[in-house]
Structure 1
Amino acid sequence: MVLIFFIVSIISCGAGSICGIGGGVIIKPVLDATGIMSVSSISFLSGCTVLCMTVVSVYRNMKSGTAKIDLKISTALAVGAAVGGLIGKAMFESLKEAAGNEDLVGFTQAVVLILITLATLIYTVCKEKIHTRHCTRIWVCVAIGLLLGVMSSFLGIGGGPINLMVLGYFFSMGTKDAALSSLYIIMFSQITSLVQTFASGNIPEMEIAYLVFMIIGGIMGGTIGSRINKKISDHGVDKLFIFLMAVIVLINIYNALKFSGVLG
């Protein structure tokens, strides 16, 4: 089973690094579908893996210069996302405690992910026809980052697809620039979320081997994805992103049915 987690982390983080979706939006639903671990354990493993991948990807992409990042705007978004991550984490823990049922939490996450992923997919397909904005006010950036952080932390996905849609619409960023900025934001929100988890002592039970191999897979995936990102066009990144979003919608529909008990 450790091998399955390792392979999923490499593939997810490789694709996540290329598209700027972080990888958690793939890791979380795929591993939820296996039923191997609890929702809480998978969310924690996903967060650790995505953090390692984003650190590697941001460093390599900024060093290579294949994409540009507006540090003023991206840092404001990242600060907001970090604070939002704390709120989202608290919401997740509150829902888990109130529900007293991991399946209900998993069902809620799956349904919200379906809606968000569909919205992102539709936006990406139609974005050439959409008139975008170019926000520069710092308080607006922080507020937007806050909302991104809440959603990504609550869902345990790092935020990727939501980030890309928001960066494209509100800041008129190109595909690769948005991907790099998204990874930068995810890195900050994941650091904050994980620090809170360790500080509060809410670390779910799991075998350490899963954590070690997923982190290694995340680093490898981030390295591979950064190299591929240099060689493909914005159009190629968009095509991969659309394909991934369609697959993720299907996986989350399966998860929603599984957690609801429809599939037994």
Structure 2
Amino acid sequence: MKFSYLYYHIISSSEREMVVISLIYFLIGLLACTVGAMAGLGGGIIIKPLLDALGHYDLSTIGVLSAATVFSMATVSLIKLRNSDLNVDRLNSFLIAIGSILGGFIGKGLFNYFVINMGSSKIVGIVQSSLLSILLIIIFIFMKHNNHIKTYHIKNRLVILSVGLVLGLLSAFLGIGGGPLNVAALVFIFSMNTKDASVNSIFIIFFSQLSSLLLVAGSTGFDDYNLSMLWVMVAGGIIGGIVGSNFVSKLSNRIIERTFNVTLLNIILLNFYNIIMQIG
């Protein structure tokens, strides 16, 4: 009788812990994708450092969880926004998306090369967090002062494809989905306001995350990854996409820009924390 009583309480405690963990991952997907859909950040830029901080999964698994969650967000966001009056530059955004897909293959190859050759995901994690922090600081300064910086209206398709290639390479290597890089690039090369750039960023992210998932499916498959939290995060991503796309339709460009900058600043601080913890 005592053994049965103890066994019941051990299982009960384990189940309660699993519920709490599932709730945390659902909220990460929900928060990241709500802000991601609203400010064009995508969500991966938030998901990756948060999952790094939790420390439950390796870098490769985090990449798959992030890609699937962000892809679900991008899908529902585009469905919600298809009848809105927001400006989606489909041709140029599609060219960037194609470049991002090509760059994504290169970036993923570089990531796998460094993981295999360095033999330590910890070192790669420190490199990722450090590079990401530098990039985000540059983007934060640019977005904060973009009204005083000369922007362009690039029309050369080769240049646009090349920009997408660089964005895809960096995003895939850093495992972030490309959101803030996309927004900054769209503002800089097409002189978009932050609100329009955020919507076009989601359009680009849809294709880049789809290609990332197809690459995993066609190469290693998903069996080697611990995806126990996948559907919990995807559920959060779907709801976040619906909520975030409603916000972006109703809020002013100024509020979207402020949301983008505040979120970016918090992500920079979180990355600094991750670097310190990984080094320590």
Q: Indicate the TM-score class for this superposition, using the shorter chain for normalisation.
A: over 0.9
Answering whether residue 87 of structure 2 is matched by residue 68 of structure 1, we say yes
Q: In the alignment, which of 14, 17, 34 is matched to residue 37 of structure 2?
A: 17
Determine if contact 1:85/1:153 at 8 Å carries over to the other structure. yes
Distance 2:195 2:178 in 1: 16
The one-letter code of the counterpart of 2:63 is S
Aligned ranges 1:1-264 → 2 under 5 Å: 1-65=21-85, 67-201=86-220, 203=222, 205-260=224-279, 262=280
What does the per-residue CA deviation read over 1:2-34, in whole Å, with 9 as the maximum and x for residues that have no partner? 221110000000000000010000000011011
Counterpart of 2:12 in structure 1 is none
Distance 1:209 1:40 in 2: 14
Distance 1:194 1:171 in 2: 29
Distance 1:62 1:178 in 2: 15
* SS of residue paired to 2:88: coil
Larger radius of gyration between Structure 1 and Structure 2? 2
By how many angstroms is 1:131 displaced? 1.2
What does the per-residue CA deviation read over 1:94-114, in whole Å, with 9 as the maximum and x for residues that have no partner? 111011111111111100110
Which deviates more from structure 2 when the two are superposed, residues 243-252 or residues 194-203? 194-203
Distance 2:243 2:90 in 1: 24
- Matched positions, count: 260
What does the per-residue CA deviation read over 1:9-60, in whole Å, with 9 as the maximum and x for residues that have no partner? 0000000000001000000001101111112111110011011111111221
Structure 2 gap ranges (5+): 1-20
What does the per-residue CA deviation read over 1:37-92, in whole Å, with 9 as the maximum and x for residues that have no partner? 11211111001101111111122122222x11111111111111111111111111
* SS of residue paired to 1:64: coil
TM-score (norm 1): 0.95
Q: 1:127 to 1:6 in 2, by over 3 A?
A: same
Task: State the identity as a percent.
Answer: 37
Structure 1 gap ranges (5+): none
What does the per-residue CA deviation read over 1:126-150, in whole Å, with 9 as the maximum and x for residues that have no partner? 1110110110111111110000100
Structure 1 runs of 4+ aligned residues shifted over 6 Å read: none
The one-letter code of the counterpart of 2:208 is S
Name the Cα RMSD after superposition. 1.2
Q: 1:204 to 1:84 in 2, by over 3 A?
A: farther
Determine if contact 1:41/1:204 at 8 Å carries over to the other structure. no
